[in-house]
Structure 1
Amino acid sequence: MLGRTLREVSVALKQGQITPTELCRKCLSLIQKTKFLNAYITVSEELALKQAEEAEERYKKGQSLGDLDGIPVAVKDNFSTSGIETTCASNMLKGYIPPFNATVVQKLLDQGALLMGKTNLDEFAMGSGSTDGVFGPVKNPWSYSKQYREKRRQKAQGESEAADCLIAGGSSGGSAAAVSAFTCFAALGSDTGGSTRNPAAHCGLVGFKPSYGLVSRHGLIPLVNSMDVPGILTRCVDDTAIVLGVLAGHDPKDSTTVQDPVKPFMLPSLTDVNKLCIGIPKEYLVPELSSEVRSLWSKAAGLFESAGAKVIEVSLPHTSYSIVCYHVLCTSEVASNMARFDGLEYGHRCDINVSTEAMYAATRREGFNDVVRGRILSGNFFLLKENYENYFVKAQKVRRLIANDFVNIFNSGVDILLTPTTLSEAVPYLEFIKEDNRTRSAQGDIFTQAVNMAGLPAVSMPAALSHQGLPIGLQFIGRAFCDQKLLTVAKWFEKQVQFPVIQLPELMDGCSSVFENEKLASVSLKH
């Protein structure tokens, strides 16, 4: 049952093949067995079981709330959850318990979803590997697939087992690992520059970033207000559509959300792609792109072309400025948003009482890690009066040019853009941390952050396994608020490639071997 899709399990619940309580207990058991993945920061066992009992009563009375009723879900730990600690994986917010639910969390609960817990991330979502939070790194479930471990044994005789642990991607790596390890059927991530799509690519999942304004940001602890979007991680496109249908729509608590009513997201089965025009951005063919991803990208384009779609090369001429532009805007908004964490109202507060300024400084030094402090310093530099015009204002102008590039492409007749999601498959943790966070983030976001600056919908689709047996994802980008069309095309692609998701027995075999090896089970992977 755990290996089925959300829709399949929903049908099973309605037919009485399994009860919500039984399903909840199975997921809770697997959360404990896969604890070494470090996917969860908080497991809300009592709440989930209570919600399961309530769902069970509704099913008995024939009063099901819909496809999410009784379905286990997880939420990234930067969404506010009433009565449940929300930490952003930071010392600054350890012990903080919000008095309200984020709008997207409340919408899930209103539909009867079971909240299994809060998932791990990079501190305040600043990273691309889920390696920089205070609770330790998230481990990719594919590290324990039989195929990958066999390949590693052949390739790296004598290396420590810890070297095999792959990053899950970030910053929503905990949510991705939770879904990939079958501990829930859907999870919320946040996506500011690719933080949902990146881990989806590394963990073999569907990772969806909606159009900016389609889904409420209320209750999502902000990183970059003008780019943040709640993201969805599932094992198939139909499941993503189900969750999106629940989350989308106007929220009076978020003035950036769409004003018009949103229709239900029902995905038709696309049988004919003859009328589609797929654009291949030539600027995305960068030297750092691995040969396997490049080859798969080409094959995917050929797949559409052989099915009758028109595939053309297109140009996004300001792509080369995108990463630098994103860095300036991101750190500037980070500096502004992080100013609220001063130790006075909530969160961490140091014991220094010499002066208010000394208390501020000590609190922020103790509460934030080097990555967060570095971005705050950079942002404040860009926002200085003497620098504001040369950095922030110019970056805003370049952002407009980048957004216009996409508009021009879609206005020319292109329906969907097809690009890589990441430069390569997931890499081992010890290899990943050789670079600093800023460099890693720039590399991880190279294909994804421009979409956030333009406010467009995008989805990372699992396309194939690498020669090492690891997932490779490809990204589909659509016109603003054409999310349904984007997911419809993604569903067609999903049907063609038939991606071989990790099998539950393989993961459990991995669990057994890990628990037998205490050295690997307890490895903290700190650097």
Structure 2
Amino acid sequence: MKRHLQLTIKQLSASYADGSISPRLVVDHALDDAVKLKHLNAFIRISPENSLHQGKESEHRYENKNQLSVLDGVPIAIKDNFCTKNLTTTCASGMLSNFVPPYNATVCERLAASGTVLVGKTNMDQFAMGSGTVDSIFGPTKNIWSNDLSDNKWHIAGGSSGGSATAVAAGICYAAIGSDTGGSTRNPASYCGVVGLKPTYGLVSRHGLIPLVNSMDVPGVFTRNVSDCVDILNAIAGPDAKDSTTIRRPFKKIDIPFFEDFDLRNVRVGIPKEYHCEGLTKEVLETWMKVADLLEDNGAHVEQVSLPNTAASIFVYSILNQCEVASNMARYDGIEYGHRAGNESSTEELYANTRAEGFNTVVKTRILTGNYFLLRKNYQKYFEKALRVRRLIADDFKRVFETPKNNEKIVDVLLTPTTLSDAPLYSDFISQSNRDQCAVQDFCTQPANMAGIPAISIPIRLSKRGLPIGLQLMSRSLNEEMLLRVAGWIEAQVEFDCLENEQIYAARS
């Protein structure tokens, strides 16, 4: 195992500064690992020339004591639905297979300004429509925790940001950016044994993130530990004049001594009873209860709470998702950019053939369904009603976080499962439709997107099958500091590190 892989980002930066480790050497190792582990299919495109150039520039800055930030020289990866200037951005779809953006997404711009080194663009479900990273034109991503990577005996990485989660879990990079619309960061983080953060809606700019559902999309962060997650969030969060949905007040960088002087006696933890749902496996339930007991035994106030509209959440999410998809996908018509069919005799035929060739079945199904919901005769029955129930779901969270009644205490964080089980086998996963997969895989995660609140998945332990099990923490809007403090405390207690596991070590060797 390469020594630098065991370091946090802060430790790596300190090693760069004292000259004990070279940024160029670390970048070389990252590129070598990306090639050596290409059978995982975590990357759609690796950018070695760009990476080596950035690594060399970083080394010169350290030599001249001019490092840009704690992230200077740190290898990262970006999900392939974030625009990267002069680097192909495909959304894992035939529609954008040759699309080269002329600008960087704000997230990419801010990471580059911090000195990070981009290893490459990661695999995903087409246009982020999925929960397994199995619907990419570049093939599915495999979970590095799989006991058998041959044929269809391997486990899914989760989705839609499975490539980013796998790149971090495999130790190729220290951090990766994903997107989270209904759990697309937290779901693969849980399956791959890494930390996955979905910030408050509007805390991180969506400019340059190719949209799926504008009202729910949030750039997400993957790291191997909570401390690294804070460093990445500090670099990318804050107002952006190019995105009118970002929160306008300046972002105060988080500086947390995670394992020092954190008193759980002042923390109230809610356990939502509705998340003890059908399909929740015994192992996940036991993990959930053990961590709740751990918090209580160390002074936290743990109590059951109710989020009564959770049961309706997945149906509301499905309707709103498909309605916004229908609107967002209308731009892909073969005229302005993207794939264009040829030899058509009319504009209508050009549109039809372009979209038939460029989109897969999942995307086309969501477009058709969304347009059905938006028909004049159906608009009030489906779309408007879903918006009203979405408000009820958000009010459930507001009640437990902000407006207690009948002498109830305000809850600081909610503790829930992230997924209902460990990572499914690929063969089992694809036996269900995309809609059914997402209904199961996103049950615990998508309510946070509809409410716009921050949520994080942290790895806890391994299942009997040797696969990671993660738990989710949620908190009120802009309460990332408390969320990350509690996550960091739990992390210190369970001491889960994917790169210290023999299984991961063997897969990398």
The question of 1:71 aligning with 2:74 is answered yes
Letter paired with 1:368 = F
1:457 aligned partner: 454
Q: For 2:465, what is the secondary structure of its paired residue?
A: coil
1:296 aligned partner: 287
Question: Cα–Cα, structure 1 residues 161 and 54, in superposed 2: closer, same or farther, change >3 Å?
Answer: closer
- Asked if the contact 1:352–1:358 (Cα under 8 Å) also holds between the matched residues in 2, the reply is no
**Pairing partner for 2:308 from 289, 303, 317:** 317
2:353 aligned partner: 362
Deviations 1:447-490 (A, max 9, x none): 00010000000000101111111100000001101111110111
**Pairing partner for 1:418 from 395, 398, 415:** 415
Task: For 2:492 and 2:5, locate their aligned partners in 1 and report how far apart those are by CA, in whole Å.
Answer: 21
The question of 1:39 aligning with 2:42 is answered yes
Task: For 1:93 and 1:307, locate their aligned partners in 2 and report how far apart those are by CA, in whole Å.
Answer: 51
**Pairing partner for 1:231 from 220, 243, 257:** 220
- Asked if the contact 1:96–1:347 (Cα under 8 Å) also holds between the matched residues in 2, the reply is yes
Deviations 1:302-352 (A, max 9, x none): 011101111111000111110000001000000000000101111100013
Q: CA deviation at 1:511?
A: 5.4
- Asked if the contact 1:2–1:27 (Cα under 8 Å) also holds between the matched residues in 2, the reply is no
Deviations 1:350-407 (A, max 9, x none): 0132100011001000000000000000100000111101110110000000000000
The question of 1:344 aligning with 2:335 is answered yes
Q: CA deviation at 1:237?
A: 0.3
The question of 1:468 aligning with 2:447 is answered no
Task: For 2:344 and 2:498, locate their aligned partners in 1 and report how far apart those are by CA, in whole Å.
Answer: 55
Q: CA deviation at 1:5?
A: 2.2
Q: For 2:470, what is the secondary structure of its paired residue?
A: strand
Q: CA deviation at 1:504?
A: 7.6
Task: For 1:509 and 1:475, locate their aligned partners in 2 and report how far apart those are by CA, in whole Å.
Answer: 28
Q: CA deviation at 1:508?
A: 5.5
**Pairing partner for 1:484 from 481, 486, 491:** 481
Range with greater deviation from structure 2 (499-508 or 370-379):
499-508
**Pairing partner for 2:128 from 85, 103, 125:** 125
Task: For 1:362 and 1:373, locate their aligned partners in 2 and report how far apart those are by CA, in whole Å.
Answer: 12
The question of 1:376 aligning with 2:353 is answered no
> CA RMSD for the aligned pairs?
1.2
- Asked if the contact 1:335–1:375 (Cα under 8 Å) also holds between the matched residues in 2, the reply is yes
Task: For 1:59 and 1:140, locate their aligned partners in 2 and report how far apart those are by CA, in whole Å.
Answer: 35
Range with greater deviation from structure 2 (165-174 or 265-274):
265-274
Structure 2 unaligned blocks of 5 or more: 405-409
1:392 aligned partner: 383
1:155 aligned partner: none
Task: For 1:360 and 1:506, locate their aligned partners in 2 and report how far apart those are by CA, in whole Å.
Answer: 49
- Asked if the contact 1:142–1:502 (Cα under 8 Å) also holds between the matched residues in 2, the reply is no
Aligned length: 498
Range with greater deviation from structure 2 (501-510 or 472-481):
501-510
**Pairing partner for 1:170 from 126, 144, 159:** 159
2:33 aligned partner: 30
Task: For 1:177 and 1:133, locate their aligned partners in 2 and report how far apart those are by CA, in whole Å.
Answer: 15
Task: For 2:501 and 2:291, locate their aligned partners in 1 and report how far apart those are by CA, in whole Å.
Answer: 27
Letter paired with 1:446 = F
For residues 26-175 of structure 1, what are the structure 2 equivalents within 5 Å?
Answer: 26-143=29-146, 148=147, 161-175=150-164
Letter paired with 2:142 = K
2:240 aligned partner: 251
Q: For 2:219, what is the secondary structure of its paired residue?
A: strand
Letter paired with 1:431 = D
**Pairing partner for 1:217 from 206, 225, 248:** 206
- Asked if the contact 1:352–1:362 (Cα under 8 Å) also holds between the matched residues in 2, the reply is no
Letter paired with 1:168 = A
- Asked if the contact 1:350–1:362 (Cα under 8 Å) also holds between the matched residues in 2, the reply is yes
1:208 aligned partner: 197
TM-score (norm 2): 0.96
Task: For 2:288 and 2:162, locate their aligned partners in 1 and report how far apart those are by CA, in whole Å.
Answer: 23
Question: Cα–Cα, structure 1 residues 221 and 423, in superposed 2: closer, same or farther, change >3 Å?
Answer: same
Q: CA deviation at 1:66?
A: 1.1
Q: CA deviation at 1:506?
A: 4.3
Letter paired with 1:438 = R
1:525 aligned partner: none
Name segments (4+ residues, structure 1) moved above 4 Å: none
Task: For 1:254 and 1:20, locate their aligned partners in 2 and report how far apart those are by CA, in whole Å.
Answer: 33
Task: For 2:499 and 2:214, locate their aligned partners in 1 and report how far apart those are by CA, in whole Å.
Answer: 35
- Asked if the contact 2:171–2:499 (Cα under 8 Å) also holds between the matched residues in 1, the reply is no
Letter paired with 2:228 = D
TM-score (norm 1): 0.93
- Asked if the contact 1:181–1:504 (Cα under 8 Å) also holds between the matched residues in 2, the reply is no
1:6 aligned partner: 9
Q: CA deviation at 1:503?
A: 3.5
**Pairing partner for 1:193 from 147, 161, 182:** 182
- Asked if the contact 2:77–2:177 (Cα under 8 Å) also holds between the matched residues in 1, the reply is yes
- Asked if the contact 1:182–1:504 (Cα under 8 Å) also holds between the matched residues in 2, the reply is no
Task: For 1:89 and 1:98, locate their aligned partners in 2 and report how far apart those are by CA, in whole Å.
Answer: 15
Structure 1 unaligned blocks of 5 or more: 150-159, 513-527
